[in-house]
């Protein structure tokens, strides 16, 4: 997570727009036949719209042959043809819009599923280094931007391209000399749009990053709301959010203020071309090279030709915004996943619980080692306590045991198997964990306790709840074990959430258990009861306990004292107290 001084300092470089576009189109591959049908319908709708100016020109020509010579039957005939062409074109356009909306919805759903599936395969380190709010922004905001662009901009581009090409062909048929006027302004519009595209694309990338960063900050502050209130730091948080919000607004302004100049400029170029058509058309009419009907049709076609170009210039900004958002999504999809299991990796079965770490060294950042040549041995059924000052490396040992990270040097063994030679799934299923940071989800009490154990019966859930000393509390709830917990357990206390997670671990049938300050949120009386229950239920299981309150681990079979990544002492409570070393000083400091 970036520090406070890093906020707003993120700089986005222009990315591969072509490659991103190709990846977006790959999501449309599954709907290629639908896209082909919609393209044909878009083409047909534009044919109808393109026939309209031709009918209008013929009607004007029939009405303009001279006084008393107007053939109203012919005029009305072409008028009805023009109306029919426009109605058919509008209906087909509506069908195309509805079809693309459905396709974009399916693409967004597939993209979100890919992103969520990807998140489930990423290593723990990715989540340690990225804000939750920024990840959520990619799943929601960025994919929404891409879907909106697909449902609106793609249709508009298809229609616009057909209109531009069709109008140009019709203008060439009507009067090649007048087309020369258009050829003067077309290159101007093309090169200007290309030039502005190169300038706006990086700005839209920066805008997407700024919004992701703002979402990350908001999520972080909402999570820590009670701490903010406790320290009366509301004004400071509001001031900091104001700065981040200002940076996001500046990024939005920088992108859109530049992008919004494209539409008016292209409009000016198109109007310049229309003026040239008017001047040259008057001269050609004076020389009797063209008639009024042809000039009228040509002007209408020129408007149809220039209108889509102007629209494309406007939606090109939205397309660049969608490409920038898609790049952020694809960067997440391209993140390296957890290292795959080696071919032929062994599945851990009938785990006894013999664990060993030999000469292990590890660092989260290359060149900064956290653990140095660490040795640890836990026999089956033993309880190993790990103590030490904050930052000594206790949680790092747990991360390596669970293989959330791989060691840089040395090896970790379970039942004599080096853990990199066994499947990650079977290794992690061999452990149950109770962490200091409790996690419950929206669902019933039963669902939360039975999480991770399929087909758990109510009797088994109740037995685990009784052992965790939470059964009586559950029975006082309106619907007992069927009571629904709100999201993140907001309607129960922190201690009760921790008891639920303890009950969950007790129900999970494993041979090894990890407790990371597992009773930190319960009172002393309840803690003693839970400790007794856990000792009886964990008999024969290998347990790793991280504890700051040393009174809770006095009965451990072996206590490891970790200091700056090294095991400086190990032994039973009595042995370590007799040494009068690090453990003795830690213990004494808690009871002075």
> What digits encode the pLDDT tens for the residues 299-357?
777 777 776 766 666 677 677 778 888 888 898 898 888 888 889 889 988 888 899 99
CA-CA distance, 590 to 587, in Å (whole number)?
Answer: 5
- Say if CB 444 and CB 483 are below 8 A apart: yes
Q: Find all residues with CB under 8 Å of 141, minimum gap 6, and list them.
A: 211, 212, 215, 325
Per-residue pLDDT band at 41 (split at 50, 70, 90): confident
- Give the per-residue pLDDT at 223: 65
CA-CA distance, 399 to 393, in Å (whole number)?
Answer: 10
Q: Please check the confidence at residue 7 and state whether its pLDDT lies above 50.
A: no
Here the contacts of 490-496 (C-beta below 8 Å, separation 24 or greater) are 492/440, 494/438, 494/521, 495/521, 495/522, 495/523, 495/526, 496/470
Q: Which has more confidence, 102 or 288?
A: 102
> What digits encode the pLDDT tens for the residues 398-439?
889 988 888 999 999 999 899 999 998 888 888 888 877 777
- Give the per-residue pLDDT at 8: 35
Q: Which has more confidence, 183 or 559?
A: 559
- Give the per-residue pLDDT at 5: 36
**Sign of the dihedral defined by the CA atoms of residues 473, 474, 475, 476, in that order:** positive
Please list the helix, strand and coil fractions of the chain in percent, rounded to the nearest 5, in that order. 65, 10, 25
Q: E strands, 297-379, where?
A: 355-362, 371-378
pTM as predicted: 0.66
Q: Please tell us whether the domain made up of 17-333 is placed in CATH 1.20.1560.10.
A: yes
Q: What is the mean pLDDT of residues 362-384?
A: 85
CA-CA distance, 323 to 344, in Å (whole number)?
Answer: 41
Q: Which of 100-104, 175-179, 507-511 has the highest mean pLDDT?
A: 100-104
The answer to whether the 17-333 and 355-591 domains have the same CATH topology is no
> What digits encode the pLDDT tens for the residues 226-250?
667 666 777 877 888 888 888 888 8
Per-residue pLDDT band at 466 (split at 50, 70, 90): confident
Domain layout of the chain by residue ranges: 17-333, 355-591
Q: What is the mean pLDDT of residues 354-362?
A: 90
Distances (CA, A) of 446 to 71, 436, 437, 478: 84, 21, 20, 14
> What digits encode the pLDDT tens for the residues 554-575?
888 888 888 887 888 888 888 8
- Give the per-residue pLDDT at 12: 41
Among the listed residues 55, 39, 191, 145, the one whose alpha carbon sits nearest the alpha carbon of residue 100: 39
> What digits encode the pLDDT tens for the residues 381-391?
888 888 888 77
Within 10 A of 180 (CB to CB), how many other CB atoms are there? 12
- 355-591 belongs to which CATH class? alpha beta
- Give the per-residue pLDDT at 61: 62
Q: What percentage of the chain carries pLDDT values higher than 90?
A: 3
Vertex 510, ends 434 and 557: CA angle to 5°?
Answer: 70
Q: Which has more confidence, 2 or 466?
A: 466
Q: Please check the confidence at residue 2 and state whether its pLDDT lies above 50.
A: no
Q: Please check the confidence at residue 26 and state whether its pLDDT lies above 80.
A: yes
- Give the per-residue pLDDT at 49: 67
Vertex 457, ends 452 and 458: CA angle to 5°?
Answer: 110
């Amino acid at each position: 997570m970036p520090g406070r001084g890093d906020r707003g300092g993120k700089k986005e470089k222009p990315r591969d727009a072509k490659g991103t576009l190709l990846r977006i189109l790959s999501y449309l591959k599954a709907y290629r036949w639908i896209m082909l049908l919609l393209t044909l319908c878009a083409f047909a709708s534009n044919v109808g719209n393109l026939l309209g100016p031709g009918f209008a020109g013929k009607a004007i020509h029939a009405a303009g042959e001279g006084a008393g010579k107007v053939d109203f039957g012919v005029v009305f005939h072409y008028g009805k043809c023009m109306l029919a062409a426009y109605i058919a074109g509008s209906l087909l356009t509506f069908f195309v819009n509805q079809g693309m909306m459905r396709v974009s919805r399916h693409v967004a759903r597939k993209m979100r599923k890919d992103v969520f599936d990807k998140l489930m395969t990423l290593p723990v380190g990715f989540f340690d280094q990225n804000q939750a709010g920024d990840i959520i922004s990619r799943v929601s905001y960025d994919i929404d931007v891409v879907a909106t662009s697909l449902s609106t901009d793609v249709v508009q581009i298809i229609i616009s391209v057909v209109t531009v090409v069709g109008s140009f062909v019709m203008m060439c048929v009507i009067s090649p000399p007048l087309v020369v006027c258009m050829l003067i302004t077309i290159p101007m519009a093309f090169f200007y749009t290309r030039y502005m595209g190169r300038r706006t694309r990086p700005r839209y990338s920066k805008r997407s990053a700024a919004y992701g960063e703002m979402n990350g900050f908001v999520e972080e502050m909402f999570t820590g709301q009670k701490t903010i209130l406790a320290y009366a730091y509301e004004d400071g948080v509001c001031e900091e959010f104001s700065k981040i919000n200002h940076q996001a607004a500046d990024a939005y302004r920088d992108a859109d203020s530049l992008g919004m100049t494209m539409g008016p400029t292209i409009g000016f170029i198109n109007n310049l071309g229309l003026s040239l058509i008017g001047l040259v058309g008057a001269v050609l009419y004076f020389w009797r090279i063209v008639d009024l009907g042809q000039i009228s049709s040509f002007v209408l076609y020129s408007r149809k030709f220039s209108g889509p170009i102007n629209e494309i210039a406007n939606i090109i900004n939205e397309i660049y915004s969608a490409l920038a958002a898609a790049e952020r999504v694809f960067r997440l999809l391209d993140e390296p996943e957890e290292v795959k299991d080696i071919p032929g990796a062994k599945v851990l079965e009938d785990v006894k619980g013999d664990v060993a770490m030999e000469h292990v060294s590890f660092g989260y950042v290359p060149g900064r080692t956290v653990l140095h040549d660490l040795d640890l041995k836990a026999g089956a059924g033993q309880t190993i306590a790990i103590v030490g000052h904050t930052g000594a490396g206790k949680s790092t040992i747990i991360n390596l045991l669970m293989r959330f990270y791989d060691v840089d040097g040395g090896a970790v063994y379970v039942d004599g198997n080096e853990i990199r030679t066994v499947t990650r799934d079977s290794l992690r299923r061999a452990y149950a964990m109770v962490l200091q940071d409790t996690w419950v989800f929206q669902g019933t009490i039963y669902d939360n306790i039975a999480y991770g154990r399929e087909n758990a019966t109510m009797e088994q859930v109740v037995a685990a709840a009784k052992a965790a000393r939470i059964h009586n509390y559950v029975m006082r709830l309106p619907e007992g074990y069927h009571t629904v917990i709100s999201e993140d357990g907001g309607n129960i206390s922190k201690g009760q959430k921790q008891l639920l997670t303890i009950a969950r671990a007790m129900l999970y049938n494993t041979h090894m258990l990890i407790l990371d300050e597992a009773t930190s949120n319960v009172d002393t009386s309840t803690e003693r009861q839970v400790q007794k229950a856990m000792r009886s239920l964990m008999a024969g299981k290998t347990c790793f306990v991280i504890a700051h309150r040393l009174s809770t681990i006095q009965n451990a079979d072996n206590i490891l004292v970790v200091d700056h990544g090294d095991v400086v002492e190990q032994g039973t409570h009595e042995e370590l107290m007799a040494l009068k070393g690090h453990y003795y000083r830690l213990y004494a400091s808690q009871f002075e």
